[in-house]
Structure 1
Amino acid sequence: MKKGVKRVLFFSLFTLLVLLAACSKAECEASADCQRTGHTGRCVDEKCVFTPIPGTCGNTQCEENTGENKCTCATDCGSCSGAVPGSTLLQQTCSQENTCIVDVPIAKIKQQSITNTVNSQGNTFKITTTFNAPFNFKKDAFTATIILDNLANFVNNIRITGYELSAVDKNKQNVVLIDKDVNKPIYGKGGSVEDELHLDLTTSDLEGTVSNPVLKVDYEYTITQGTTSQLRTAQIINQLRGVTLQWVKPEEDYPCPPNCDDGNPGTADSCSAATNFFCEHSPIPGACGNFQCDGNENKCTCAMDCGPCSGSAGQYMDLGCQAQACVASVRGGLSVTPKSIFDDKNLGALHLQNRYSYNIPFDVSKDVIKAEFTLYNLQATTSNVKIEAVRALDGVTELGYLPVNQNLNSIGQTFSVNVPITSVAKPEAQHTVTLSVAYSYDQNGQNRKASFTRTLERITFITPGQV
């Protein structure tokens, strides 16, 4: 028995040694036996030792400084395909430029356009907002187009000065998505401006929603009555009720667009990390197209900044360029209607009968209001009647003034004066004209002063010439 056991142990040990010898077979005999993509190999003690080759795909190192990314070397950088972890909307795909793009598939993006009409300070604006859904904070623009549908009386020089877009987030908190200053004019009824707004939201989420956006548009305008102008400010509030804006915000930034040229020579176009890789268009001082009517610009040399010089300037006037100046001309075939109003004024101490004559339309460059005064009767204790001055008013706004200082010494005496109109807006304006006549007289040894008024009608005033 003992001899048999020894034999079994001997053969077992021999077999084990043979197996160990087989397992410890050399991995290599020479460095040429050591081959691996992206590495150099050396045979050291019959084992391969591999060293990564810098800048080579397959070296297990994603070297972005050599141009490697998920699209040019998936072996080192990982795959650019499929859904982005943590998002139900974002997908990874390789572009034609071999860039890994994280975005919502085009087939799932729908462009939304919403138009509302908003009234503000008697002005009517049509506002169209256009945006992608889902909206990508890193690359999409929220476009606001504002058209002036109707202009209130005496209002001009409307200029958009700022935008604020806010909405309600998932926590029922109001969040501001953009607050941006601008400086762009809207010239007259039918004029428009358009701005691309780049929204942002402070969040670590890849996607989410906000609801009931509100776009507030700040603007300034001028109220002009006669030659007096006042600058005022107001706000357009455009509520997008019932709108839910689904958004995404990838971790990666997008490259700048290949071309940022907006086709406007008055702006400097740029894109960089400083602009968050969006195109920016900054006004160039003194250049036509910078949204400021400055320097030697006018409606004929730079309509983009100063507004157009064409078409109708009102009921009777047309605009056109002459020698690079914008000129208002009376429309052909104009028919002028002479008007005359009789005014019987029994003022107690004296009785006047007056007549006021004028043309409609009233050409400020040559027409006047002719005021004729006749002393019809006089109390026995009254003498030395004098017409001191005549003022043409629209409310409290003075349109014209004439010092007279002429006496009416006897019953039946008549004289007339011509009252010029000097303070109306060019080239055409309408005013309800009231004449205010200051007069004086002596009664019982005392000099007394008084005035009376007579409203004529609503008169259209035209001013041919340069505007």
Structure 2
Amino acid sequence: MKNTRNLSVYLLLAAILLILIVVLSSCGSDEDSGDGEQAEKCKKSSDCKFAGKDKKAFSVKCEEKECVYTAKKGVCGNGDCEKEEGETLCSCPKDCTGKDPSVPKTLKECKGKADTDGNLEYKCDKKQQCVVEIVGQKQETKIETLSFEQSRVPQAKVILKQEYPKPFNIDSDVLSFKLNLDYKILGVDEVTLKRIQVFMHTGEKVRGRWDPNDQEVPLVDKLDINRVLWDPQLEVVQELPLDAEINQSKKTTLTLKLFFTYKGKDSRGNDATFEETKTFDIEDFLLTRSTAAPECTPAKCNDNNPCTEDKCVTGKGYCDHVVFAKTCKGNFRCDEAAGENKCNAPEDCGSCKGKAGEFAEYRCSDDKKECGVVLSKEGLASVDEKRLTNEQKIPAGTPDIRFKIIKTFNSPFKAKISLTADKFTLTMQVLDKKATTKNFKVNNIELVDGTSLLGNTVVSQAFNNVGDKFDFKIPFTKPLVLVEEKRTKLKLKVTYSYEGVDRQDKPLVHTNEIFEEDIGEVLLVNAG
């Protein structure tokens, strides 16, 4: 009896449980839309409330008493980051947060630091792309003095100014070199920048030495520069882009090598061409890469030089200036065959101005065809006519004839071979002569500097009587080479002949004998 009662209770509970399951199952089938969301009931489409949805991004219909929502393609807010429709984290953050493939998934909005040093930031560009941009750029300037010496004697000095932004964007920025000739000694010419190399280091310097594992990675090797630093007024500019394999940023040391040549004199006084390489480092050079598209316009590239083709480098933010091969004033080549010179093409050949020495300066001829040396204002004001007087006995012991000698010349002395150049004047006057001295004749007069012949005058002048007086002009016949001013000791060598007698009163003919006249130190200027 008791067992029958318990069975009845169990059957009753089971029946109640079954009824609950059926009821709950029925309720679920009526209110679940099938995708895990509670179905929104409606009688018509206007009953739908767009709960949690953007009305602009979805369309809705009331179907079988339920609101059915359909996402509109290409409309921000539809929940799908559609890259093919141009959607990005910038243009549609509600759809693209964590879904924009161009930025990290953890980025909630396009702003904030992109590196630990704060040199890079996420920003929206003009095209609504989320890009990494460089911030806080400052223009850095370094100045180096480059000295050129031979046997510890200064020959020339060049001032080098380096300019570059920090951080350096390898897709848009350039390393700029500006060079000026500070000075050069007389005789030195054509200081020329031939080549530039730039290396990036993989290691670090410790106490002035690179670590053993350091490697030099070449970034630039520009071979064909060939720019002459003609004078201090001419600035030579070279702009070099740097291309390196980096992810976002890299701090490194750059080593720069500049290769120069210049013309001068060697230890023997011969013409020579010298080569020198200047090497120095730029430490803490910060290379960075932006994901923003580089900007370059033709107007930015115009260097106002008619001899260059100026254009943007494809995919970069800097320019290229290609020099025309044809003859052109401004192509950095002095085309002498085409008639270019310092007077009509100073941009290529150097300027014809400035001091050529203590008393000389450079000046163009009136027809602009020649750059020459003339006496400066200081030189003209300093011109002094020197007059040296002495006696000359021939021979020295018991003279057969005795002359008064006058040597006249200007100092500074214009020594160029020209019609307007200065001449040395030698005046000879007979003071006394023996009756046996006949047919005394001056045949030739030479102007010498040591053993070098600088000037010559062929004459055939007889001195027959006491009181005879004649002037002889001796011009320069050998040009000064690579020297605009020179202080040197000069003398005159006079070749003569005459008839006389020896100690036994026998006839004696003197042929091509020489006496010398010291002039002393003279300042020669290569001017006419």
Structure-1 separation of matches of 2:348 and 2:78: 55
Q: How does 1:58-73 map to 2 (within 5 A)?
A: 60-63=81-84, 71-72=90-91
What CA distance in whole angstroms lies between the structure 1 residues aligned with 2:128 and 2:74? 22
Aligned to 2:195: 162
Asked whether the equivalents of residues 133 and 292 of structure 2 are also in contact (C-alpha less than 8 Å), the reply is: no
Aligned to 1:239: 280
User: Are 1:402 and 2:467 an aligned pair?
Assistant: no
Query: What 5-or-longer segments of structure 1 have no aligned partner?
Result: 378-383, 442-446
Q: Is the 8 A contact 1:317 1:462 kept in 2?
A: no
What residue is the counterpart of 1:337 in the other structure? 384
Tell me which residue corresponds to 1:380. Answer: none
TM-score, scaled relative to structure 1: 0.71
Give the CA deviation at 1:141. 2.4
Tell me which amino acid in the other structure corresponds to 2:238. Answer: D
Helix, strand or coil: the match of 1:102? strand
* Cα 1:239/1:397, change in 2 over 3 Å: farther
| Corresponding residue of 1:390 | 446
Aligned match of 1:319 in 327, 338, 363? 363
One-letter amino acid of the structure 2 residue matched with residue 182 of structure 1: I
Q: What is the Cα deviation at residue 292 of structure 1?
A: 2.2
Give the 3 Å change call, closer, same or farther, for CA 190–452 of structure 1 in structure 2: farther
SS, match of residue 22 in structure 1: helix
> Which one of the candidate residues 324, 330, 336 is aligned to 1:289?
330
CA distance change for structure 1 residues 240 and 392 in 2, over 3 Å: closer, same or farther?
A: farther
Could you tell me which amino acid in structure 2 is paired with residue 368 of structure 1? K
Equivalent residue letter for 2:284? T
Residue of structure 2 aligned with 1:13, choices 17, 21, 25 = 21
Change (3 A) 1:59 1:287: farther
1:364-379 equivalences in 2 (<5 Å): 364=416, 365-370=420-425
Match in the other structure for 2:114: 84
Give the number of aligned pairs: 446
- The corresponding residue for 1:308 is 351
Corresponding residue number in structure 1 for 2:527? 463
Structure 1 residue 309, shift from structure 2 partner: 4.2
What one-letter code is carried by the residue in structure 2 that aligns with 1:359?
Answer: N
Provide the residue aligned with 1:262 in structure 2. 303
* Equivalent in the alignment of 2:152: none
Stretches of structure 2 lacking an aligned partner (at least 5 in a row): 1-6, 104-108, 150-154, 205-209, 434-439, 498-510
How far apart are 1:278 and its partner, in Å? 1.7
SS of match in other structure, 1:273: coil
The within-5 A match list for 1:147-158 is 147-158=180-191
Which of 407, 413, 421 lines up with 1:362 in the alignment?
413
Q: Within the alignment, does 1:188 sit opposite 2:231 as a pair?
A: yes
| C-alpha distance in structure 2 between counterparts of 1:152 and 1:118, whole Å | 15
Q: Choose the corresponding residue for 1:119, options 136, 141, 147.
A: 147
User: What SS class does the counterpart of residue 154 from structure 1 fall into?
Assistant: coil
5 Å matches for 1:420-439? 420-422=475-477, 423-424=479-480, 428-432=484-488, 434=490
1:248 match: 288
Per-residue CA shift, 1:272-328, capped at 9, x if unaligned? 227x44212222332322222333444444432333345655524463574555665
Which of the numbers 196, 199, 220 marks the counterpart of 2:261?
A: 220
* CA displacement 1:119-162 (0-9 Å, x = unmatched): 11310122222223333333332222222221122012333222
Cα distance in 2, alignment partners of residues 131 and 311 from structure 1? 32
Q: Look up the match of 1:381.
A: none
User: Residue in 2 aligned with 1:136?
Assistant: 169
Separation in 1, partners of 2:120, 2:457: 79
Is the CA contact 1:208–1:246 (under 8 Å) kept in the aligned structure 2? yes
8 Å contact from structure 2 (residues 186, 356) kept in 1: no
Deviates more, 1:142-151 or 1:345-354: 345-354
For the structure 1 residues 31 and 124, does the alpha-carbon distance in structure 2 shift closer, same or farther, using more than 3 Å as the test? Answer: farther
**Does the CA-based 8 Å contact 1:146-1:192 persist in structure 2?**
yes
The 8 Å contact of residues 356 and 485 in structure 2, kept in 1 or not, is answered as no
- Judging changes above 3 Å, is the alpha-carbon distance between structure 1 residues 24 and 54 closer, same or farther for their aligned structure 2 residues? closer
48-57 or 155-164, which deviates more: 48-57
Distance between the aligned counterparts of 1:186 and 1:119, measured in 2?
14
Q: Aligned residue for 1:444?
A: none
**Cα distance in 2, alignment partners of residues 255 and 62 from structure 1:** 23
For the 8 Å contact 1:268–1:282, the answer to whether it is kept is yes
Equivalent pair of 1:158/1:185 in contact (CA under 8 Å): yes
Tell me, yes or no, if structure 1 residue 206 matches structure 2 residue 219. Answer: no
What's the offset of the Cα at 1:229? 9.1
How many percent of aligned residue pairs carry the same amino acid? 19
Aligned to 1:94: 124
What is the aligned partner in structure 2 of residue 178 from structure 1?
A: 220
SS at match of 2:334: coil
Give the Cα–Cα distance (whole angstroms) in 1 for the partners of residues 55 and 323 of structure 2: 54
Q: 2:135: which partner in 1?
A: 105
Query: Is contact 1:120–1:234 with CA below 8 Å preserved after alignment?
Result: no
1:312-368 CA distance string (max 9 Å, x none): 555244635745556656556645322356799999999999875432222333322
Q: Is the strand fraction higher in 1 or 2?
A: 1
Structure 1 stretch displaced more, 71-80 or 110-119: 71-80
